[in-house]
Amino acid sequence: MPRAQVPVTGRSWAPGSLWPMCGIIGVTGSDDPLRFVLDGLALLEYRGYDSAGVVLVATAGEAEGLSGTGALWRRRSAVRGESIPALERFAGTDLVPGARTGIGHTRWATHGAPTEGNAHPHLDCTGRVAVVHNGIIENHRHLAAKLVAAGHVLRSETDTEVVAHLVEAEVTAGASLLEAVQRCVSEIRGDFGLVLASADEPEVLVATRQTSPLIVGRTSSLGLVASDISALLETTRELYALGDGEIAELRPGVIRVVDRAGTRVEPTRLRVGWGVRAAQREGFEDFMSKEIHEQPRALTDTILGRIHADGTTELEELGIKEIELAAISRVIVIACGSSYHAGLTGRVAIEAWAKLACTVEIASEFRYRNPIIEPGTLVLAISQSGETVDTFHALREAKRRGALTVVLTNVVDSLMTREADGVLYTRAGPEIGVASTKCHTAQILLLQVFALHLASLRRSLSTDEIAELAALVVAVPARVGDVVARFDEYRHTAEQLAFVDDVFFLGRGGGYAVALEGALKLKELAYVRAEGYPAGEMKHGPISLIDRDAVVVVVANRGSLSAKLLANVEEVRARGATVVALCDTDDPEVAGLADIVLEVPHTDETVAAAVLVVPLQVLAYGVARARGNDVDRPRNLAKVVTVE
Ligand code: AGP
């Protein structure tokens, strides 16, 4: 078990099951469900703050201004970061007298802009079924088409709303909420945590999940559910992890769990050893280590429904016609910092797979260089935040010069998405730590999916070659999971380097961008001078800096340039440097050359970057922590850089 692990035991609660997006809360049996839900949302807000919403279930006839036929009261707000305070104005107003049940949601948008109309809870056509959701419903388009053909009216752009309508059909036919969910859930593909309320059963909530976690709990008078434990800890320690595919019916003081066949299941009790603040970090010491651990999940979500092991890619969301994309003749990537490094990795795939000329430019330089944009140029801006002012202006300049533009970002509806012709979203969930970790690896993987998409449109590779590469891409989240599991081991290694002053990071080919990213992480977190360099370039000058005090980290995974890289390692060793090798497990040759080894399970070099960068994140993390630095808020830096 890694050191920073969650001190809760119980089924389904492991780092691999962390789900970064959206907060869910629900209660039944409360005298003031709105207060309860709003307090819970405030604790969950770190999971997403694009919008928030609540539904209270009134006993028919007891409330004013109800939606639909009258028993669900819904309020939503989509003022980024301010939605929960906006909902506070309804608290204490007794607008829904008699309501004892409520659900709430704080959203991190994935499907549909962060508008009020897309904010959860979503309702069915009759306004009698409400749903909140965390995750991605992969087959939502297919389900929506079926529902519309059957006469349903869908009002939002979300993947979630289909669930309310599927359940509506069953409830209208006489099913209880539990039976309705049981019947519908097998139609839904993807990852989800769902909580539903129905006007017909004012003291019942139904919750179910697939991959993304849900915790249920009770007191003698309450039934409780939340997407994570932090929202429930102040109310009860009687908490249970809902298992994959299980369905919980909550009533005041009572939890009943069944599987999809309706067979009663005994839920697993969680043993909880910590308080609310730690719970927001899910027990991790800081957001950075939490976000490092979230990477397998973030990568899985990022490629969900977009690439399949047979080589098919689906990127309709991009919003650019395939014919236009197939016709591009050149790609210019613009970005800053870690996003720039992701761009360098993306270039390798764009050139090798899509066979397109690709350059990667520092955004703050591009704009002022009078760049040449020929017809057929695609300018691809990469920005985690979508708000970095250097990248934004470079994007605007490229557009002014006639480029087709795409932004690859993690933040729905951010500034750049409104500027670009097309958008690709990573689905890493909110990244709180200033140092980019999960967003960086998600960018890399999405760029590789995009490169394969271009390759298939341009027919630059055979179908077999595309399928082979797609299988490698699809396997990356699991490989990343393998390295994340070695977090403690890498951190321990980092502690041996706690007091270094000067570090070179060397790589060749695909390893070069990894070296740059490793150096940036060490600089920004540990405040150590660190330089990322192409290994072959050392002999053209920088090698004069190498002596017995130098520390050289080499990205030395097995690959086509291994022999050349090892020759460069010999060169720095001969001058007395301490060599830290990031290499494949069981590579005695590299291990024999190194003083310190960071082992990674072998990953094909074409897709290895996202895997290799993880130990270097942990290396920087470990050195920074050993020096007593605040890893979530390193000095002089901001998460979003809105100045030139
Ligand atoms: C990464 O760890 C840094 N904090 C920084 O380099 C960052 O990648 C850069 O500022 C770009 O930000 P963006 O991706 O939001 O545009």
Write out pLDDT tens, residues 322-332: 999 999 999 99
CATH superfamily ID and name for 487-626: Glucose-6-phosphate isomerase like protein; domain 1 (3.40.50.10490)
Q: What is the pLDDT of residue 641?
A: 76
Inter-residue contact 114 to 413 (CB < 8 Å): yes
9-279: CATH, from 3.30.70.2740, 3.40.830.10, 3.60.20.10, 3.40.630.30: 3.60.20.10
Q: Which of 22, 125, 184, 439 is catalytic?
A: 22
* pTM for the structure as a whole: 0.79
pLDDT tens digits, one per residue of 594-628: 999 999 999 999 999 999 999 999 999 999 999 99
Question: What is the separation of C-alpha 569 from the centre of its chain, rounded to a whole number of angstroms?
Answer: 36
Q: Whose CA is nearest to atom 3 of ligand 1?
A: 435
Which of 436, 619, 629 has most ligand 1 atoms within 8 Å of its beta carbon, as the pocket-test mutant?
436
85 within 8 A of 52, measured Cβ to Cβ: no
**Top-confidence range, 246-260, 362-376, 535-549:** 246-260
pLDDT of residue 247: 97
Domain boundaries, the chain: 9-279, 289-481, 487-626
What is the token pair recorded at 496? 């041996």
pLDDT over threshold 90, residue 453: yes
pLDDT of 2: 30
Name the least confident of 89-93, 239-243, 305-309, 420-424: 89-93
CA 620 / ligand 1 centre spacing (Å): 16
Q: With bands split at pLDDT 50, 70 and 90, how would you rate the model's confidence at 20?
A: very low
Q: Which CATH number is 289-481 given?
A: 3.40.50.10490
Angstrom distance (rounded) from CA 122 to CA 155: 9
Provide the pLDDT for residue 17: 38
| CB contact at 8 A, 86 and 119 | no
pLDDT at residue 10, as a whole number: 32
Q: What is the pLDDT of residue 18?
A: 43
Reference 267, options 325, 345, 215, 201; nearest CA is 215
Residue 388 CB less than 6 A away from ligand 1: yes
Model pLDDT, residue 290: 94
**What's the mean pLDDT in 28-39?**
95
Q: Which of 390, 414, 621, 641 to mutate to test the pocket of ligand 1 (most atoms within 8 A of CB)?
A: 641
**DSSP for residue 118:** T
Ligand 1 within 6 A of 383 CB?
yes
Q: Whose CA is nearest to atom 6 of ligand 1?
A: 337
Residue position matching structure tokens 């993304």: 212
Locate tokens 């990852």: which residue? 191
358 is catalytic: no
- What is the Å distance from ligand 1's center to 380 Cα? 16
Evaluate: CB of 580 within 6 angstroms of ligand 1. no
Q: What is the pLDDT of residue 19?
A: 43
**Is 487-626 the same fold as 289-481?**
yes
* pLDDT confidence tier of residue 108, bands split at 50, 70 and 90: confident
Residue 66 predicted with pLDDT over 60? no
Radius of gyration over alpha carbons of the chain, in Å?
Answer: 25
pLDDT band at 80 (very low <50, low <70, confident <90, very high): confident
Q: Whose CA is nearest to atom 9 of ligand 1?
A: 337
Q: Tell how strand 502-507 and strand 422-425 pair up.
A: unpaired
Tokens read off for 533: 């360099």
Ligand 1: residue whose CA is nearest its atom 13:
383
Closest CA to 231 of 423, 37, 433: 37
Query: CA 460 to CA 454: how far, in whole Å?
Result: 8
pLDDT at 276: 72
What is the residue-averaged pLDDT of the chain?
A: 90
Indicate if ligand 1 lies below 6 Å from the C-beta of 617. no
In this predicted structure, the answer to whether residue 249 has a pLDDT above a threshold of 50 is yes
Nearest CA to ligand 1 atom 5: 337
pLDDT grade, residue 241 (50/70/90)? confident
Strands 247-251 vs 239-241: parallel, antiparallel or unpaired: unpaired
The mean pLDDT value for 418-434 works out to 91
- Using the predicted structure, report yes or no on whether residue 116 has a pLDDT greater than 90: yes
639 is catalytic: yes
Q: Is 337 in the pocket of ligand 1 (CB under 6 A)?
A: yes
pLDDT at residue 110, as a whole number? 82
Percent of the chain with pLDDT over 90: 72
Q: Are strands 551-555 and 122-123 parallel, antiparallel or unpaired?
A: unpaired
Does the pLDDT at position 462 exceed 50? yes
Mean pLDDT of 197-216: 92
Out of 95-99, 260-264, 384-388, 443-447, pick the least confident. 95-99
> pLDDT-derived band of residue 59, with 50, 70 and 90 as boundaries?
confident
Q: Quick one: three-class SS letters along 38-103?
A: HHHHHHHHHHCCCEEEEEEECCCCCCCCCECCCCEEEEEECCCCCHHHHHHCCCCCCCCCCCCEEE
Mean predicted confidence (pLDDT) in 551-579:
92
Mean pLDDT of 146-166: 96
Residue 235 CB–ligand 1 contact under 6 Å: no
Pocket flag, ligand 1, residue 409 (CB < 6 Å): no
* CB of 389 shorter than 6 A to ligand 1: no
